[in-house]
Structure 1
Amino acid sequence: MTIIKTMDSTTTRTTYCYSYHRISTRNQLKGGGIKRQIEDSTRFCESQNWMMDTTFKLTDIGTSAYHGKNLDDRAALGSFLKAADDGLVKRPAVLLVESLDRLSRANIMDALELFIRILNAGISICTYHDRMIYSKESIQANFGPLLISITIMCRAHEESDIKSRRLKKSWLQMRERIKNGGLGHSSIYPEWISIDSGKPEIIESKANIIRQVFDLCVNHNMSYLHILAHREHLFCSTVNAHSGLA
């Protein structure tokens, strides 16, 4: 809460907190990244006596901040910013994040544009990892924290850029390896292909299921739900054929 002193009295104004959480890949769910962010932000919000507003779904899972995908209208952050522009976010407001790289890992010009856009909307940004609070008023009074934020965002972009270039290089090397008869990463092969022998080989028992699904969909005009209704028949027939009982 914010205490406002006047000549006649002292009043208390509620500060509304909007906690944003993001992880880049769904695999990070296994590490509890979202759970940790929610728990840490809740504790910090309570320590500041802010009112947590959960009106908006502020969680982006498997959403890249390097490519700015979290700013799309269908993403949580993008939807929140649109709501702020439409006057649907209560003020005074604080957007609470673990660190600035949760908001953006884009190049500094795009990241800084987002940073300023949020502040100009009358929403403060608080990073509970380093306990920094940025607001339009505080930046205008002292631009030192702005320089700190620029440094943090530059470093975040550089880390993601290096990772992206390494990943692209790795995929290019794998493509060349496959062209020359080698194997790619095991993750690129579907369940119906085995690489145990050192080369890709179709697992007929599993491939038959895929063929039957496509046949039911394309040639018999069956929906996914209808195909699922036949799953026992598909699996039983495959097992019987594999065991020689058919």
Structure 2
Amino acid sequence: MTKAAAYVRVSTSNQIDGESLSTQKSIIQAYCASKGWKLVNTFRDAGISGSNVDNRPALQALLAAVKTGEIEAVVVRDLSRFGRSARDLLNNLQALKDSSVTFISIKENIDGSDAYSQFMLTILAAISQLELEIITSRIKENRLARWRDRRIFCGKAPYGYIWNPKEKRIEIEPEQGEIYSIVVKEYLDLARSLNDISLELNAEGIPTRNGGSSKWFSGTLSKILKSADYCGEITVNRFITDVKGKIIGHRSESEHIIFEAPPLITRARWDRLQERLDSANSRSGRPSKME
């Protein structure tokens, strides 16, 4: 009797306790019974995206079991359960083939053991990948549209501010706003160096925007003080980034998105601040005497 294993997956956490996993398993059980196969195990990945293969522990356990010879056939309800990336799907299928394990996708009526099925799997995997890319593109477009309409704020607001999702507006984060004002006063009015101010903030245990063990540095303060966002208009969507978030280019002004925010500094005072920053010693951040 052929020893078969079921692989079932749902892609969102709110489906974990729903009927999706049990429905998939029931369909696979019925299929195995019709073939006279023994269903020896069911591998479940609950609430995990099909595009994130590395974080699918049950799939990895299944592939490990395949290598030991414990399983002779792998059965899924449909191809998308086994993966949405053409490359990863075909790699996994090759692993099954190398261990002489049959792959069955019930919905597509695929038996991966013959040449025709291998051809169909390649085509279906490519289609599945295309569908994923289209869905991802639509999600990004929808997110950008909501961003442009100021219905959401993507990423973190600048230090000193917080996005209120209920009111759909930028608000001052009181503690951070106060720290910003103190830094401006000490640097602009008391002529203290950014290095000295950052050391003092660290000594007092004042958290940065990232919190945790993140420390203040003169460069961090310089970047904050150079930002015109604090004058009351927060400009986002200015840069083009790669998949790792590295800036690789600048967007045109027509693509910029501007959120109104309560100002933490007047424009005149901010201009004076820039003059001081421009005249500062590049190493210490200490402003030179103004004429």
Mark yes or no: TM-score above 0.5: yes
| 1:60 correspondence with 2:45 | yes
Task: Tell me if structure 1 keeps the 8 A contact 2:90–2:122.
Answer: yes
Q: Superposed, which structure 2 residues align to 1:118-197 within 5 Å? A: 118-135=96-113, 139=114, 143-177=115-149, 182-184=150-152, 195=166
CA separation in 2, counterparts of 1:173 and 1:194? 16
Normalised to the residue count of structure 1, the TM-score between the two structures is 0.58
Which is helix-richer, 1 or 2?
1
- After TM superposition, give the deviation of residue 61 of structure 1 in Å: 1.2
2:88 partner amino acid: D
2:44 partner amino acid: T
CA separation in 2, counterparts of 1:130 and 1:163? 21
- After TM superposition, give the deviation of residue 101 of structure 1 in Å: 1.7
Normalised to the residue count of structure 2, the TM-score between the two structures is 0.50
- After TM superposition, give the deviation of residue 48 of structure 1 in Å: 0.9
- After TM superposition, give the deviation of residue 37 of structure 1 in Å: 0.3
1:59 partner amino acid: R
- After TM superposition, give the deviation of residue 122 of structure 1 in Å: 1.7
CA RMSD of superposed structures (Å)? 2.7
Q: Deviations over 1:198-217 (max 9, x none)?
A: 6589xxxxxxxxxxxxxxxx
Percent identity, aligned pairs only, is 20
CA separation in 1, counterparts of 2:82 and 2:165? 40
Q: Specify whether residues 99 and 198 from structure 1 end up closer, same or farther in structure 2 by C-alpha distance, changes over 3 A only.
A: closer
CA separation in 1, counterparts of 2:17 and 2:128? 23
Say which of 60, 63, 77 aligns to 1:81.
63
The equivalent residue for 1:232 is none
Task: Tell me if structure 2 keeps the 8 A contact 1:84–1:121.
Answer: yes
- Stretches of structure 1 that go unaligned for 5 or more consecutive residues are 1-13, 186-192, 202-217, 219-246
Task: Tell me if structure 1 keeps the 8 A contact 2:43–2:58.
Answer: yes
CA separation in 2, counterparts of 1:84 and 1:144? 23
1:20 partner amino acid: Y
Aligned residues: 163
Give the structure with higher Rg (CA).
2
Q: Deviations over 1:53-88 (max 9, x none)?
A: 02xx5011121222324xx4x610111112323x1x
2:118 match: secondary structure: helix
Q: Deviations over 1:107-158 (max 9, x none)?
A: x3332222112111221101122333222xxx3xxx2221111111111111
- Stretches of structure 2 that go unaligned for 5 or more consecutive residues are 154-163, 172-211, 213-291
